Structure formats: C-alpha cells, structure tokens
Copies of this chain bind each other. A is one copy, B any other.
Amino acid sequence: MPVPKGSTIDPERTRAAILKAATPVLYERGLDGIGVAELCALIGVSKETLYRHFGTKDGLVEAMLRARSDRVSRWLAEAVAAAGDDPRAQLAAVFDTLGEWFEDPVFRGCAMVNAAAQHHDETVRAVTTRHLGRYIDLLTGIAERAGAADPPLLGRQLLMLVEGATVVAAHHGAAGTGEQARQAALALLSAATQSASGENPGASGENPGASRDNPGDDDSSGDDDSGDSGSDRGRSDSSGD
C-alpha cells in the first residue's frame, strides 16, 4: 500500500525519519554489514524513497555521520555546560557521560572512527577529522579555563584519552573504563595546571609543542614493497615488517 490512508506526506520529515532509523542499524551492523534492500526493509521505507532523498548509499552514510557527529558533540557540550563553572567538574562530566555510553549494550566504539576504518574514501575521513576537531575544541576550552600551561597540548592529550577509552571500552571490556579514564584525565589536568604557575611549560623537560591543531591528512597512495619477481618464492626472511 503506497502512501497509507491517513498518513501525511512531508519529504523533509521522511528524510529525517530515514536518517534516524538508519543510524543505529548502520552503527550496529557496520556500513557494509547491511545492504540497501535489507536496510530499507528494516526502517520501513522503499528503496526509491531512500535514493530520492540521499542519491546513493554513500550519501546516506555521509548524512548519517554528519548528523551523528552533530548530535554527539552537542550531547557532550551540554554535559559540560551542565557541570557548572569548575573546569575539573566539566572534565569529569565529559568522562562520566562517555562512561554511560560505554555501558550501553549496543556500544561499539566511535561511529566516525569506525566508519573511517571501513570506508577509506576522503569524504568519511573528513567527517571523522571534523568530529575529532570538535572534541578538541571542547577539551581545549576546559584546559584553558583550568589555566593549563599549554591548553592546545592538554586538549589533544585529553582527546587521546577520550578516543582511547572508547577503543578500550569497545574491545577490552567497558566496565569501569569511564571512571578510569576520568581519573587519568583529572590527573593530567592537575599536572598541567600545577606546572603552569612558576615553572616553564612542558613538565618533565619535553617540548611536545602542540601549539595549534594540525589536522593534516596523511593520505597515502604508496604501493607495497613486494619485490618478489616470481623466480623462487620461498625466501628465508620471515620476520621484519
């Protein structure tokens, strides 16, 4: 039955509904773990409608990733805003919020990072880089308000904790990961703030120097080093990358 009797036709809402329904499926099954036909059946929409709104499957994927990045970033920013004025409390709120996410039974890691691991095209990578940039902005802001010696450096280190905790929670047990990451983040914040007044930045003599973010994409088109021409295949070098 095309266009059910009492339904209202609203293309924009249809598009939003497709996005909303497809997001968890693509996240849990993987971008290539489900075909368009099955996806359409699951979310209750015809293939023609999906293609009319998104053009291609990659178009749907990109729109989904952008919407998810928006939503997650807003979610974290609201958690920070709700934590009051204390930068330490704001940082703790970030990891408490992440910890709740980790405990979700459908948690499978960061959707953007996962997507970049699946689709090597530049479009998805750009969304992922932008997503990490949003995290860095949030974390660097906390570092600045806390009076860190080098806010961009601390922001990037905190981003490592955020993404690292996500990976660890996804692949090595989620229990406690949020609290463990929060404790580490607060320890880093303490170290960066106590060395800010008096001593020179760079704590223990190092100068990591992350003055500004450098999202330089290290794309590679290099081919492998298979210098085997075809004569004898069995060489004795079995180690060494």
Contact = CB atoms under 8 A, between A and B. Distances in A.
Interface of A: 4, 6-8, 10, 12-14, 16-17, 20-21, 24-25, 28-30, 32-33, 42-44, 71, 74-75, 105-110, 113-114, 116-118, 120, 125, 128-129, 132-133, 136, 153, 156-157, 159-165, 167-168, 170-177, 179-184, 186-188, 190-192, 202-204, 206-210, 213-218, 220, 222, 224-226, 228, 230-236, 238-241
Of A28, A108, A125, A224, most B-chain CB atoms within 10 Å: A224
A61 to B, nearest CB: 14
B220 A105 contact: yes
Contacts of A182: 206, 208
Task: Give the oligomeric copy count.
Answer: 2
A32 to B, nearest CB: 6
Given A187-B204, A190-B191, A208-B180, A218 B160 contact: no
B186 A24 contact: no
A120 B29 contact: yes
A180 B236 CA distance: 38
A107 B184 contact: no
A224 B176 CA distance: 25
A210 B117 contact: no
A228 B133 CA distance: 35
A129 B43 CA distance: 32
A161 B106 CA distance: 24
A20 B33 CA distance: 27
